[in-house]
Amino acid sequence: MSDCNDCNTSADGNITSATDGNLTSATNGNITSATDGNLTSATDGSITSANNSNITSATNGNITIATDGNITSANNSNITSATDGNITSANNSNITSATNGNITSTTGGNITSANNSNITSATNGNITIATDGNIISANNSNITSATNGNITIATNGNITSANNSNITSATDRNITSANNSNITSATDGNITSANNSNITSATGGNITSANNSNITSATDGNITSANNSNITSATNGNITSTTDGNITSANNSNITSATNGNITIATDGNIISANNSNITSATNGNITIATNGNITSANNSNITSATDRNITSANNSNITSATDGNITSANNSNITSATDGNITSANNSNITSATNGIITSATDGNITSATDGNITSATDGNITSATNGNITSTNNSNITSATNGNITIATDGNITSANNSNITSATDGNITSANNSNITSATNGNITSANNSNITSATDGNITSANNSNITSATDGNITSANNSNITSATDGNITSANNNNNSSSTNQRKHYQRNRRQYHQRKQQQHHQRKQQQHHQRKQQQHHQRTQRQHHQLKQQQHHQRTQRQHHQRTQRQHHQRKQRQHHQRTQRQHHQRKQQQHHQRKQQQHHQRTQRQHHQRKQQQHHQRTQRQHHQRNQRHNH
């Protein structure tokens, strides 16, 4: 062993060459070459090459190349290459390459490449590449690539790529790609891609893609894609895609697509698409498509399509399509299609189609089609089709078709067809066909066909066919056919056929009566007629008063509606402008924050690179100085010896 200088002990071990090095103890171990290095103890271990390195203890471990590195304890470990790196404790571990990196403790872990990195504790964990990154604790974890990234705690988790990222705690967690991101706590969750994002807490949740996004809390929730979005709380909820959108609380909810939309609270609700929309509260409700629309409260409701639409309150309701329309209150109601229409109050009602129509109040009523028509009040009434017609009050009534017609009051009456007609009052009366006609009062009377006719008063009378006719008063009388005729008064009389005739008075008097009986009958008739005239006059006064009141009320309602429409339009314009301003401000803030983060990160990288270069240069100078001194001292010792 002529090449061995200062070879102290070799118990059953082989010590081959130690040039200017100190070999202390190799019990049952093989020490091949230690140039300018100090080898303290290698028990049952093999040390191949340790240039300019200090190796303290390698029990049952194999060290292949350790250049300019210090290895303190590597028991039962395999270390392939440690250049300019310090390894403190690597028990039962495999370390492939640690260039300019410091490894403190790796028990039972595999480290492939840790260049310019500091690894504190990696127990039973595998680290593939960690360049310029600091890993504090990675217990039972697999870390593939962490370039310029800091990982604090990763217990039982797999981290694939975390470049330029800060990960604080990832317990039982798989993180695939988190570049330029900050992840605070991810417990029992999987994060696939979170580039340029901030994730605070994701407990038991899966996050697939969250680019340029801020996610505060996602507990037991799945987030598929959240680009440029802010998500505050998603508990037990699934979020598929939210681009440039803000979601505050989505508990137990499924949100498919929310592009440029803000969702405040969606509890136990499913939202498929809410583009450019603001949704305040949707509890136990399903919203399919809400584009450019604002939905305030839709609890326990199903909304299929609300495009450019504002829905204020739709609790326990089903709304299929509401395009460019405003729905204020539709509680417990079904609305199929409301295009360019405004519905103020539709409680417990079914509305099929309201195109360009205004529906003020429909309580417990069914409205099938109201195209370009205004419906003020339909309480317990069914309206089938009202095209270009105005319907004021239809209490407990059924109206089938009223095209271009105005119906003022239809109480407990059925109106089948009243096209281009004006019907003022039809109380307890049935009107079958009254096209292009004016009907003033039909109390307790049935009008079968009165096309192009004017009927002033038909009290308790039945009019079968009065086409192109004028009928002034038919009290308690039946008129069978009066086409193209003028009938002034038919009291208690029956007119069978009066076509193209003028009848001023037709009273069927009974023949063969006794004189006193006839006089008694005439007197009763006169009293009855006077009473009827008096009642008719009182009723006309009352109707005039009611009509005046109603017209005043309608005018007030119309003015109020126009004012509320104008205010609503101004408010929506202002809200849209404010939302655009807020989104622009948030985007500008986010871009500014990201730019500041990037500049800060680049500055930190540059400082770290300069510091490591300086430290490396100083260490090289120090090692060279120590080696020169040691060589000089050894030469003097040999010379003296």
How do the domains of the chain map onto residue ranges?
158-245, 254-310, 414-506, 566-634
**382-385 and 62-65 strand pairing:** unpaired
Confidence of residue 336 (pLDDT cuts 50, 70, 90): confident
Q: Percent of the chain at pLDDT above 90? A: 0
Reply yes or no on whether the pLDDT at 511 is more than 50. no
DSSP 217-230: E-SS-EEEE-TT-E
Lowest mean pLDDT among 120-124, 126-130, 320-324: 320-324
Task: Give the chain's count of helices (H) and strands (E).
Answer: 1, 63
Reply yes or no on whether the pLDDT at 455 is more than 80. yes
In this prediction, residue 375 carries a pLDDT of 74
Lowest mean pLDDT among 4-13, 54-63, 167-176, 524-533: 4-13
Reply yes or no on whether the pLDDT at 502 is more than 70. no
Reply yes or no on whether the pLDDT at 510 is more than 70. no
Give the model confidence (pLDDT) of 168-189 as tens digits. Answer: 777 676 777 777 767 777 766 6
Give the model confidence (pLDDT) of 229-241 as tens digits. Answer: 777 777 776 777 7
User: How far is it, in rounded angstroms, from Cα 524 to Cα 516?
Assistant: 12
Give the model confidence (pLDDT) of 457-474 as tens digits. Answer: 777 768 888 777 788 877
In this prediction, residue 512 carries a pLDDT of 36
Average pLDDT over residues 593-602: 69
In this prediction, residue 190 carries a pLDDT of 75
Q: What is the distance of C-alpha 89 from the center of its chain? A: 50
Reply yes or no on whether the pLDDT at 330 is more than 80. no
User: How far is it, in rounded angstroms, from Cα 135 to Cα 273?
Assistant: 41
Give the model confidence (pLDDT) of 397-431 as tens digits. Answer: 677 777 666 777 776 767 777 777 678 777 776 88
In this prediction, residue 433 carries a pLDDT of 79
- Burial (0-12, 13-18, 19+ Cβ within 10 Å), 578: exposed
Average pLDDT over residues 602-622: 71
In this prediction, residue 624 carries a pLDDT of 72
Q: What is the pTM of this model?
A: 0.58
In this prediction, residue 641 carries a pLDDT of 60
Confidence of residue 513 (pLDDT cuts 50, 70, 90): very low
Q: Percent of the chain at pLDDT above 70? A: 60
Question: Mean pLDDT in the chain?
Answer: 71
Which two tokens mark 279?
């949704």
Reply yes or no on whether the pLDDT at 638 is more than 60. yes
User: How far is it, in rounded angstroms, from Cα 468 to Cα 534?
Assistant: 29
CB-facing half-sphere around the CA of 26: CA atoms within 13 A: 27
Most confident of 346-360, 366-380, 460-474, 617-631: 460-474
Do the Cβ atoms of 191 and 209 come closer than 8 Å? no
In this prediction, residue 26 carries a pLDDT of 63
- Calculated CA dihedral for residues 600, 604, 605, 609, nearest 10 degrees: 150
DSSP helix/strand/coil, 165: coil
User: How far is it, in rounded angstroms, from Cα 179 to Cα 279?
Assistant: 32
DSSP 178-191: -TT-EEEE--S-EE
Confidence of residue 478 (pLDDT cuts 50, 70, 90): confident
Do the Cβ atoms of 182 and 202 come closer than 8 Å? no
Q: Which long-range contacts (CB under 8 A, 24 or more apart) does 545-554 make?
A: 546/409, 547/408, 547/424, 550/392, 550/393, 550/408, 550/409, 554/376, 554/392
Lowest mean pLDDT among 225-239, 507-521, 526-540: 507-521
Reply yes or no on whether the pLDDT at 15 is more than 80. no
